[in-house]
Structure formats: C-alpha cells, structure tokens
Structure 1
Amino acid sequence: MTASPPAPSKSFRIGIICGSQRKPRVGDQITDFVHEIIKLHSSSINNTATFDFDYIDIETLSLPFYDEPGIPSKITSPEEYAHEHTRTWSRRVAALDAFVFVTPQYNWGIPAGLKNAIDFLYNEWKGKPAMIISYGGHGGDKAASSLKLCLGGTECREVLYKAARGEQLKLEAAKNDGIWSSERKRITGAWDEMVALQK
C-alpha cells in the first residue's frame, strides 16, 4: 500500500486593516494584538494553508475624500480609475484574498476614513471573506453591524479612559491573562470561519 502524497499547500493573502485614524489612538495596539493572535493560532494548527499578511493602516493611506467620477461597481480594472491614488489602492486590495477589519465604534458607526477607503472600491472587495473586530467605550456591536452592512466586546471604564488618552493597554497575544485575553477564542473562531470559506 502506497501512502498518498501530501496535499499541496494553499497560500492566501490576508489584509489586516486598522481602521482608526484618531490621535491619540489605541487602534494600532488592538490591531497588532489581533494580528499576533491570528499568526500564533494559524501556526499552531495542522493546516495545509499558508498565510501572507498585508498590514493596512488607514491613517497612512492618505486617501482624499472620495473623488472618483466613475461608479466603483462598474469599474473592473485599476486603469479605469481617474486618479493614481485610487489605482494604487485598487491594486493593493485586489491582490488580497480576505480581510480582517479592526475598527473603533464612533457614534454607533465606523470611522469616516475607513468608510471612505471602502467606498473607493467595489469589485476589489466583492465575494471575499472578511471578519470584523470592533471595540469602543460602549462595546463595538453597532460598529460591527455598520461595517457588516458596508461589506454586504465591551470594555471596562478603566480601559476606555486609557484608550482615550492613547496609553499603552499592554495587550499581549501570547498570554492568557490581561485585558482582552477572554476575546482570544472569539478572534480565533472568527478567523477559522473565514479560512474555511476560502477552501
């Protein structure tokens, strides 16, 4: 009896998107925390897939407010956009297979910069799996719902005050204690669901 050959490894490119542009902010810390949990989790399970991550910080994109004359849903190639900043953004998103959005909740919604970055494109996002991590002083469920609509965890007061001042939250993905450690299973569970959709 001959052993069957090992299954070929699949490679996926995942966008890790930090949606906060606020100064001071803790969104980058939370995004880093989520990113580290996903990397630790994906390397610890027996999986034939490999993952390359593109860390996208909305703050550094420098996109203007939406200024394209065309309708994104009608555009199928980066060359069809009028502006180079949109063509660059289009190529970056089109190259990705799935997305992890990390967003704060502002007035029951998502930050304008994140919404603006999403609105520039359409087909580049279409049909690709995504997971949403949201946070805020009143939790992030409404931001998650808002972002879910765009795409078709409650913290304690002490953390809220630290976040508002942009202080270090001491988020450590490899440790089982500290704030947000209880969210590990929800993050990895959502990650596993998203990966399953790509098979």
Structure 2
Amino acid sequence: MAAAKSIAVVISSTRPQRINPFVAGYVASVINSIPQTTAKVELLDLATLNLPLFNEPLVPGEVPADDPTPHYHYEYTRAWSSLVRKYDGFIFVTPQYNWSIPASLKNALDYVFHEWNGKPAAIVTYGFRGGVKAEPHLREILTGLRMVTVELTVALKIVKGEPGEREKQMEETWKKDGADEKIKTLFDSLLSHFEAKN
C-alpha cells in the first residue's frame, strides 16, 4: 500500500491578534473527520518560522533543483526549505488584506522555489465577505511557483464579537452554509491530483 501523503494546512497570518489559527483548525478538523487513510493532515503556522523579509543572496530558482536546501545562505531558509519539502501538498488558509494576501504568506512563498514545484495546492479564504479578493492573487502566485492549483475554492465569512462567542457563531454559520461539505470536496479534489500521477 502506498504511503499516506503529507498535507499541510497553512496558517498564513502572523499578526498577534488573529483568527487564522481557529479558521485553519476548523478546516483541518473537517478534513480529519473524513474516514480515509491516504493522507495525513497537520497545521503549519507561518508565525512559528520567524522569517525576516526575504534576504537570501541567491534567487531561489537558481539554486540546484534536485537538492536546493543546502545551497541557501541562512539557516532559517534551510529549515524552511526542509519543511516545505516534507509535505506532498498544501491547503493555504488565508485572510484578505487590502484585496490581496498577507505579506507574511507572500514572503514565505518567495523564500523557496523548487520545493513548491509540481505539488498540489488548495485555497481557503476568509474575511467579513469571505476574503474572495485574496484568492485570484494567491492562485497566480502559486501558478508562478509551478504548483498545481485545485480549481475549487472555499470562502468562509467571519464575524466580529467577543472571544468564544465569535468562534461559536462562525462555526454555526459555516455549518449552515454547507462549509463542511465544501471543504471535504476541496480536499477530495486535492487528493485527485495524486491519483492522476499514479
């Protein structure tokens, strides 16, 4: 039997007061509720990386493609490269910042290149209107990194409110809007890219 694929659900925002971990956690929990043995899903929080603004001397696309990790100048880049290489696919859960994606996500994507190539990627956006303006920007970036993007997307609406009550209200709204089924369908589409390779 083939080894289970390793999928990262990426927490894209890094600001201290953020709802991103909750939203990404919800996405991961829905996926993990699916009875399946073909993929292992875990959260990847960009805030834990502490990557400075991109400052590698070499352009990432110019390092050797077969083993890029040791060719980066900084240890934090080598660590990030190794982490990206660990995963077979990605689900990016991102807010909309000024009609685009957070700088933290763009910066993390820019640090490496070959490590992303050929891997499937799905997009989940969120915001008071679903964060839909972020999706086309992120899709273009991922395509530029030669990732295989899932055509389907999921947009989750968030609300304001007191901690605890806010999360409860969002969960209720998402379930009412059929978000769970949309997330499951998105995940199935991501897995289908692996099946197409076999």
Normalised to the residue count of structure 2, the TM-score between the two structures is 0.83
Partner of 1:4: none
DSSP-derived class of the 1:161 partner? coil
Counterpart residue identity of residue 173, structure 2? I
Partner of 1:127: 118
Structure 1 counterpart of 2:174, from 180, 186, 196: 180
1:85 aligns with 2:73: no
DSSP-derived class of the 2:107 partner? helix
1:197 aligns with 2:193: yes
Q: Which has the larger radius of gyration?
A: 1
Kept in 2: contact 1:19–1:103 (CA 8 A)? yes
Partner of 2:57: 69
Alpha-carbon distance between aligned partners in 2 of 1:86 and 1:154, rounded to the nearest angstrom: 32
Alpha-carbon distance between aligned partners in 2 of 1:10 and 1:189, rounded to the nearest angstrom: 22
Counterpart residue identity of residue 9, structure 2? I
Kept in 2: contact 1:171–1:178 (CA 8 A)? yes
1:19 aligns with 2:7: no
Alpha-carbon distance between aligned partners in 2 of 1:183 and 1:146, rounded to the nearest angstrom: 22
Q: CA offset at residue 50 of structure 1?
A: 2.8
Partner of 2:28: 35
Q: Work out the number of aligned pairs and report it.
A: 178
More strand by share: 2
Partner of 2:147: none
Counterpart residue identity of residue 145, structure 1? P
Return 5+ residue gaps in structure 2 as ranges.
144-154
Alpha-carbon distance between aligned partners in 1 of 2:53 and 2:123, rounded to the nearest angstrom: 23
State the superposition RMSD in angstroms: 1.9
Normalised to the residue count of structure 1, the TM-score between the two structures is 0.83
Matching of residues 47-196 of structure 1 within 5 Å: 49-75=37-63, 76=65, 77-152=68-143, 153=155, 155=157, 159-162=158-161, 168-170=166-168, 178-181=172-175, 182-196=178-192
Partner of 1:5: none
Kept in 2: contact 1:29–1:171 (CA 8 A)? no
Kept in 1: contact 2:69–2:81 (CA 8 A)? yes
Higher relative contact order (CA 8 A, sep 6+): 1
DSSP-derived class of the 2:7 partner? strand
Question: Percent same amino acid among aligned pairs?
Answer: 33
Counterpart residue identity of residue 185, structure 1? E
DSSP-derived class of the 2:78 partner? helix
Kept in 1: contact 2:28–2:42 (CA 8 A)? no
